[in-house]
Amino acid sequence: MATPELISPRSARVTAARRLAKRSFRVKERRFLAEGPQAVREAVAHRTGGRPTLLELFATAEAVERHPELVDAARAGGALIHHASEAVVADLADTVTPQGLLGVCRFLDTPFEDVVAARPRLVAVLAHVRDPGNAGTVLRCADAAGADAVVLTDASVDPYNPKAVRASAGSLFHLPVSVGVPVERAVAELRDAGVRVLAADGAGDADLDTELDAGTMGSPTAWVFGNEAWGLPEETRALTDAVVRVPIHGRAESLNLATAAAVCLYASARAQRRA
């Protein structure tokens, strides 16, 4: 069998993929990059609107040898396979030591009205979250806690940012994600759907332990998480049913966003299972 021809670093395919590192091009093309075998594996298994999510796969010879079943599955799913040099993949990748596989995927976000229509029981709303690593990690926590959806408001980071995709560790492909929803709309429509909306804030009047002890956490709940540095603005907190703080029993000043999100989401998940 002849050795597959390597794709040129100057080819139109490589140039188009390279542009997806920028948000403006991702939005225009409705495509994003998924790097590494874990993300590519999830993309291969995922479908968007009945169509394959993975459109193209750049793979080094070493990666093809290490993950032949993954490359074969991508090809069988209709993805265009590009045999690429390590230099090409390194040029496209966001990591210092890429693993030789990089996919071009369709956007997979879910319309917010579909999220609400599904009558969710647990939702994470990211309002004013700007760090892509934090956004991806919260998405991963929401997936692990069994949340029904994640909503990113119009003031939050792009979940298709390469760092966010990588931090989600594949969870981006596991649960509905809505993007660009005004926080006022998110809170109002979730409440109309029978969901109690809680703001997570270190200065909250309510205490998570007290809420759990009072048995108020078993109903459908949406948690609103704010900016990493300054939390939630007063106007956003005022929209919610309650502002809840995670109690600090030790001497730590505070919890970071992802840790606080994990605590809140798991507390709701446990209370809902009991209910």
Q: Going by C-beta distance under 8 Å and a sequence separation of 6 or more, which residues neighbour residue 210?
A: none
What is the per-residue DSSP string for 237-253?
A: HTTSSEEEE----SS-S
Q: Counting beta carbons within 10 angstroms of the beta carbon of residue 203, is it exposed (0 to 12), middle (13 to 18) or buried (19 or more)?
A: exposed
How far CA 193 is from CA of 181, 236, 237, in Å, comes to: 16, 19, 19
Q: Which fold has domain 12-106?
A: 60s Ribosomal Protein L30; Chain: A; (3.30.1330)
* Section 147-172 average pLDDT: 96
The residues spanned by each domain of the chain are 12-106, 112-274
Mean pLDDT of 241-250: 93
- 4-35, pLDDT tens digit by residue? 567 888 889 999 999 999 999 999 999 999 99
Average per-residue pLDDT in the chain?
A: 93
Q: What is the pTM of this model?
A: 0.92
Say if residues 126 and 223 touch (Cβ distance below 8 Å).
no
Burial class from Cβ neighbours inside 10 Å (0-12, 13-18, 19+) for residue 230 reads: exposed
Mean pLDDT of 244-270: 93
Name the residue type at position 236.
Answer: T
Using the predicted structure, report yes or no on whether residue 147 has a pLDDT greater than 80.
yes
The token pair that represents 152 in the structure block = 């990113």
Residue 66 tokens, joined: 């290490």
What percent of the chain is modeled with pLDDT above 90? 85
What is the CATH code of the structural domain delimited by 112-274? 3.40.1280.10
**Over 60: is that where the pLDDT of 181 sits?**
yes
pLDDT value at residue 5: 63
**How many whole angstroms separate alpha carbon 222 and alpha carbon 125?**
7
The pLDDT score that the predictor gives to residue 2 is 44
Digit-coded pLDDT (tens) for 92-108: 998 888 899 999 999 99
